[in-house]
Chain A
Amino acid sequence: MKDHVRKPTALPSDANFKFPKSPTGVEGLDEITEGGFPKGRPTLICGGAGCGKTLLSMQFLIKGITEYDEPGVFMSFEEPSDDLSLNVKSLGFDLEKLKADKKLVVDHVRVERSEIEEAGEYDLDGLFVRLGYAIDTVKATRVVLDTLESLFSGLDNQAILRAELRRLFHWLKDRGVTAVITGERGTATLTRQGLEEYVSDCVIMLDHRVIEQVSTRRLRIIKYRGSTHGTNEYPFLIDEDGISVLPITSLKLDNEVSSDIISTGVPGLNEMFEKGGVYRGSNILVSGTAGTAKTTIAAYFANEQCLKKEKVVYFAFEESPQQLVRNMKSIGIDLEQHLKKGLLQIHSSRPSLNGLELHLLTLRKLIREFKPTTVIIDPISNLITVGSVHEVRSMLVRLIDMLKLNNITALFTSLNKQTDDMRPDLAEESVSSLVDTWITVRDMEGIGERNRGLFIIKSRGMGHSNQVREFLITKQGIKLLDVELGPNGILTGTARKSHELSRTVSKLKLQDELDRKDREIERKRKVLQANIDALKNEFESAVEELNVLKHTEELSSKAASNKNTDKAKKK
C-alpha cells in the first residue's frame, strides 16, 4: 500500500523513545494500545451495525476535552447534531455545554442523493474546507469522522471518492490532528470500500456477537503502525458510563500485599491456620458438594467482617437477599442489622442475566463506589453456565486481579461434584490455582449417615492443619468438633458418638473398679482394726485376771500373817 511518506522528524536515538500517543480516556483501551491512539495520525474504527463505533469515537473526543484539554471536532455524516447530543446525554456527556465552551464543534454533513446532481469533475475540497474551518475555530487536535461510507451512498463517482478519501487521510495527517474515522464492516474486507484500513495507522475492529443467547462485545486492534499493542480480542461493555474495555489480565503481578490477618468468623476454623486467620487481600475458595454449608461459611465470613465495621459486598447467584437473610437467621446470624447499617450489600442476580463481562463490570463499579474490603461470590461455579470454562477462567483471572489490586479479601464458593477421592474435579481445578486459600467442605458417608467434614487444601504463605474436622450446624451456628481418633482414623457422626460412649463406659467402669478397691482397703482396715481391738481386749482381760490373782494372793498372805500374830497373843 502506498502510504503518505512523511519526513521523519529528528529520529529518536535514545532507548526511552515512546511513540507519541493520544490517550483515549476509554477505560482499558489505553492499556491495550499502550497509551492510546497514534498522535497526529488517523485511526480507523470499524465494525457492524450497533457495535459502538460512534460511541467509542465520541468518548474519545469528549474525554479528550474533559480530561486532556484537547478540543475536538465531530463530523457526522449520519446523525444530526441534535440527535447526537441527545444520544450521548444518556451517557452523561453534555455536548451542548462543550459546544458553548468552544471546545467542541459538531458538524453534520448531510449527503442527500436526491438533491445532488453530478455534472463533470469535482473534488471534495468543500469538505476539507469545512473540516479545516471547524478545526481552526476550536483549535482542535482531535477529529472524528463518522461514517465516511455515507459519502459513497450519496455520490456516484466512486473513482473520485476513493482518490479524495485517500487525500483526506493524508490531509488529516498533515494537519497533525489525531483523527478517528469510523467505517462499516464489509463482507470480505474490514470496511465496505476496503480502503480506509490501508491508509489508517491504527485499525480497531469492534464486534458484537451472540453466543448461546448471551451477547458479548469485543474489540481487537488489527494494526498499529509503529507500536506494539495487545493483539487479543478484548471484551468491552457499554453502560451508563460509556465504553469500558476489559483487558484479560493486567500484565504485571505487582500488587501490594498485606500481612494483616483477618478472622474467618467460623469458630475453630481460625485455629486451623497457623496465624489464626487468613491474610487480608487474599482470596479464599470454599468448595464442596451440594448441602455442605458453603453459603453458611460465606455468611459467617461476611458477618465477621461486618461486625468489625468493614464493608462487605455479597454476590448471591442462587438466593435472593431476603432468602439469604432468613436462612442465616435460622442459624443465629443476623445479617439484617448489617444491611441496615449499610455495611453489607447483597446483590442477587441470575448468572445468565447478562454476560460474564457485565458481571465483572458490576463488581468493578461496586468496588469503586462502595469501597468494600471484602467481596463474597456465592457460588462462582454458577458463572460457568454463562460461558465456556475458558471464558470463565479468563474472567476469574481478571476478577481476582482486580480484587488483589484493591487489596480486597474475597471469598468464593464453588459447587463441585462428589468424587470418591478427596481431590477436586476439573471445574474446581481451573479456579484453584488462582486462589490463595482453599477450604473444602465435603460429605463423609459411612454407616448409613452423612456427616460434614472440613479441611484446608492449601493456604499460601501460612502453615495449616492437615486434619479433617467434622462440623455441625446447630441453631447456634457452626460448631467445629474436636478431632476424635479411632482405631481406623478420624471418627465422625455416630461412630464418633459410639466411640465417645464406649469411652465413657470404660471410664465409668474404671471409676467403679477404683471405688471398689478403695472400699476393699477400707474393709481391710476395718478388719485389722477389729483384730487389734480384740487383741487389746484380750490383753486387757488377761491383765485384769492377773491383777485379781495378784490381789487375791496378797490378801491371803496378809490373812495368814494376822492369824499367826493372834495365835502368838493367845499363847
Chain B
Amino acid sequence: MKKQPAEWQLLLYIAGQTPKSIKALSNIKKYAEEHLAGKYSIEIIDLLVNPQLAEGDQILAVPTLVRKFPEPIRKIIGDLSNEERVLVGLNIKPLK
C-alpha cells in the first residue's frame, strides 16, 4: 500500500434530509473518525439546494459519497451501512 496522503477530501451528495442521507452522514463520520482521524474533510452537498452540481460529479443515486482526493475519484452509493464495502471502496482498507 502506498503512502497515505495527508488530506482526505470527501463529498457527500444528498437530496434533502431523508432518513437515508442522515444515516449515510452518521456512518461516514463514524468511519472517518475511526480510520482517518484528523486528516479528512467532509463536505455535504444538498442537490435540492444546488441541483447544478449533480452533473459535474455524475451523480445519479443518492446518497453518494465521492472521494475527491486522493485520486482517482471513487464513488460509493447507498446509506453506507456496509462498513466493509465503504472502506474498500474508499481504499482505506485493502481487499482481504
Binding site for B on A (CB under 8 A): 107, 109-112, 115-130, 132-133, 136, 151, 155
Contact = CB atoms under 8 A, between A and B. Distances in A.
Nearest to A132: B51
Nearest to B77: A122
Contacts of B70: none
Given A125-B62, A130-B54, A130-B59, A119 B15 contact: no
Given A109-B58, A122-B63, A130 B51 contact: yes
B75 A124 contact: no
Nearest to B88: A117
B86 interface: yes
Interface in B47-77: 47-48, 51-52, 54-55, 58-64, 72-77
B81 interface: yes
A118 B54 CA distance: 18
B86 A117 contact: yes
Contacts, number: 100
A463 to B, nearest CB: 74
B15 A120 contact: no
B27 to A, nearest CB: 8
B81 A115 contact: no
27 contacts: A111-B58, A116-B76, A117-B77, A117-B86, A117-B88, A119-B78, A119-B82, A120-B23, A120-B78, A121-B20, A122-B20, A122-B64, A122-B77, A125-B16, A125-B61, A126-B47, A126-B54, A126-B64, A128-B15, A129-B48, A129-B54, A130-B51, A130-B54, A130-B59, A130-B60, A132-B51, A136-B51
A46 B2 CA distance: 48
Contacts of A132: 51
Contacts of A124: 60-62
B79 A115 contact: no
Question: What are the 9 tightest A-B residue pairs by CB atom distance, in nearest-first order?
Answer: A117-B89, A133-B51, A120-B78, A120-B81, A125-B15, A120-B79, A126-B59, A119-B85, A129-B47
A117 B74 CA distance: 8
A448 to B, nearest CB: 86
B25 interface: no
Interface residues of B, number: 35
A119 B86 contact: yes
B80 interface: yes
B13 interface: yes
B54 A133 contact: yes
A112 B61 CA distance: 13
Interface string B1-38: 00000000000010110101001100000000000000
Contacts of A118: 76-78, 85
Contacts of A109: 58, 60
Contacts of A151: 60
Contacts of A128: 15
B28 to A, nearest CB: 10
A124 B74 CA distance: 18
Nearest to B85: A119
A116 B77 contact: yes
Nearest to B13: A126
Nearest to A107: B55
